[in-house]
Amino acid sequence: MSVDLKSESGDEFGFSNAGWRAIAEMADSYGFDDSQCTEPEEGVIVVPAQSALNFAGIIEKALAGTNDTEIAAAISRRLTELLVQPSDSPLFPNDPVRFTEKGVSYWRDFVRFARRGGFTVYF
C-alpha cells in the first residue's frame, strides 16, 4: 500500500506506508503542530499551506548535518528511538530502522514539495 500526496497546485508525491509513518513520526518528535490539519473523511488528511511550510521546516531541521551519510545515520538512530520497542527476546531483535542517503534525498524532495503549498494526504 502507499500514501499519496497531492498539492493544491496538482503536484503529486508518494510514500510507502512505512515511509510516511517515519517522516510523520519524525515531524511529531520535532514538535509539528497538526492542529490546523483536517480529516474531511476517513483516509484523507488536508494539510493547509502554513502547516505544509512548518512540516517542511521541521524535516529540514532533521536533515541538518555535514554530509548525507552522517544525516542518514542520525535519522536512523532517531527513528529507531521513536519506532522500535526495546526487547530482550531473540524473536524481536532491536534492529535499527535503516535510513540511507537515498532516503535523505527523498526527504529533501518532500521538503521541496511541501514548500510549494498545502497538500492532501490519501491513505
Q: How far is CA 76 from the centre of its chain?
A: 13
pLDDT for res 52: 98
> Domain containing 13: what range?
2-122
pLDDT for res 30: 96
For 56-88, what is each residue's pLDDT tens digit? Answer: 999 999 999 989 999 999 999 999 999 987 767
pLDDT < 50: residue spans in the chain: none
pLDDT for res 94: 65
3-state secondary structure the chain: CEEEEEECCCCEEEEEHHHHHHHHHHHHHCCCCCCCCEEEECCEEEECHHHHHHHHHHHHHHCCCCCHHHHHHHHHHHHHHHHCCCCCCCCCCCCCCCCCHHHHHHHHHHHHHHHCCCEEEEC
Number of domains composing the chain = 1
